[in-house]
Amino acid sequence: MDTQTIVNNTTESTTGSTTEAAPDRPDRRLLLTRYLDAKAAFLLENERLCEIRLEADSEKSRIGEIYIGKIKSIADGIDAAFVEYKKGLVGFLPLNQITPDLILNRNHPDKIACEQELLVQVVKDPMHHKDATLTTELLFSGKYMVLTPTRPGMRFSRKLRKDEKSRLLDEMNNVLDNLFGERDVFLSRYGLIIRTNAADADFMELFYELHELFHDACRLMTKASTREAFSCLYQDAPFYRRILRDQYDLPHIQIITDSREVYDELQPRQNREEDESVSASLSHLSEEEKQRFADFMQKIEEKQEKIGFNPEGRLQLTLWEDESFGLLQRYGIPSSVEKALSRRVWLKSGGFLVIEPTEALTVVDVNSGKAASKKKVPEEFNLRINLEAAQEIAWQLRLRNLSGMIIVDFINLEEEESKAELMRFLRRELKKDPVGANLIDITALGLVEITRRKKEPPLSEKMKLLRQNKEQT
């Protein structure tokens, strides 16, 4: 029997039992571990692997890091600048994403010029022969919201329901009034994007996160005035904390790790250090407003102590300590990963998919395979296979982290009504993808076009690199 400890402020267990999922919510489990000597996160829905995140110790992602960069050249033909953001590392920066306020030494008042220094954030790591992609639209990401100093106003995730948006708007107005005095003044200078994860967040959680993100932003601007070019001013959260932050339904996910180090790292942090950035972040307030802020913070801390509140204390965190039966084996991760690297994916009906990634795009071919129609109406049979294939394609795009242009060759359908039903179903399945996948159209040849946002290399490339590294050690 495995020995486990579940930490969620209310539950302790030594049996390995899990929290029962709500009827309309899949049972979701997040495994935080190591795989092929790399940091790894495996997300399962109803015991089926749906998402894999890997990060080799030697290839730390720089996404989210903010630097003082220096413009090395400007390519007018593609409306972009090439910026050296770290000594020897150059990134691609579209000119339309340059915020004038973030240029630090504006030696040409009316134009962007070489040797100018500016604040840039990495949004994409270098990939193949392409440089990193940069932006000056800085983002400070939290679990519930994203703070941006360059896009004033408050926006909400499209995945939030109307009633959730209405409740969160009231909560955020209350937070802003208490934290900054006047919400309209704050929103005229800063922007907020309220994430899907905030759907169940309460006032205290929203307050503490905005308080922390705002201090991060103020701390960075204070550093920027005194640091030299190529300095790194801000780093994103470590891998495992970043994984937790990016989960949209975190309070309802059972998190399991077989690493004591990771378990300790993810424990709620009771004491947060405050530094000179606190006073710097409040420098725009009058003495009366500063005192009101201090009084309010004292009340919040008293309430926190009274109810035992901790902004990170809602995790269902489990430590797996059964040495005789490993965590990866318990959930069949090695075999699931190998299947995710295979060209062929079998469907329950006997049909199958053939997935062929290429340099320019990914091609998916739908085949009826072993399935045979015993009916006299092949249209119904073909539609049923296509609907099953559409659901599996949406799942495989997320599992394999395929991105860019995806072309799908479904089994031919004759009736327009059948085609419309297939497209509606596929669009609904793609909306479940947190990365963002879009159904574009059907071509004249009957091929379906899908695009998916690229955040990281596909699983196949990650695994190839990890195996090469393991062979060399």
Question: Where do the DSSP E strands lie in 37-182?
Answer: 38-45, 48-56, 66-75, 80-86, 89-94, 117-124, 132-135, 140-141, 145-148, 153-156
Segment 364-411, tens digit of pLDDT: 999 987 766 555 558 889 999 999 999 999 999 999 999 999 999 999
Tell the residue number behind the tokens 């860019």, with chain if given.
404
Nearest-angstrom CA–CA distance, 138 and 353 = 41
Average pLDDT over residues 14-20: 37
What's the CATH number for 140-235+271-307?
3.30.230
Nearest-angstrom CA–CA distance, 435 and 10 = 32
Nearest-angstrom CA–CA distance, 470 and 203 = 47
Tell the residue number behind the tokens 């006047």, with chain if given.
182
CB 241 within 8 A of CB 315: no
Q: Would you give the DSSP letter of residue 285? A: S
CA distances from 84 to 63, 87, 389 (A): 15, 7, 45
Whose CA is closest to 228, among 82, 83, 86, 73?
86
Segment 171-187, tens digit of pLDDT: 999 999 888 877 888 89
Q: Which residues contact residue 434 at a Cβ distance below 8 angstroms, ignoring those fewer than 6 apart?
A: 196, 246, 248, 398
Segment 210-256, tens digit of pLDDT: 988 998 888 888 888 888 999 999 988 889 988 988 887 777 899 99
Highest-confidence segment of 91-105, 223-237, 296-310: 223-237
Whose CA is closest to 80, among 108, 110, 104, 112?
112
| Secondary-structure class of domain 66-135 per CATH | mainly beta
Segment 423-436, tens digit of pLDDT: 999 999 998 898 88
Query: What is the dihedral angle through the alpha carbons of 335, 339, 341, 345, rounded to the nearest 10 degrees?
Result: 180
Tell the residue number behind the tokens 């901790």, with chain if given.
310
Q: Which residues contact residue 400 at a Cβ distance below 8 angstroms, ignoring those fewer than 6 apart?
A: 340, 355, 458, 459, 460
CB 108 within 8 A of CB 96: no
**Range in 90-104, 269-283, 326-340 with the lowest mean pLDDT:** 269-283
Rounded to 5°, angle at Cα 18 from 13 and 19: 105
Q: Where are the domains of the chain?
A: 1-61+249-270+310-337, 66-135, 140-235+271-307, 341-461
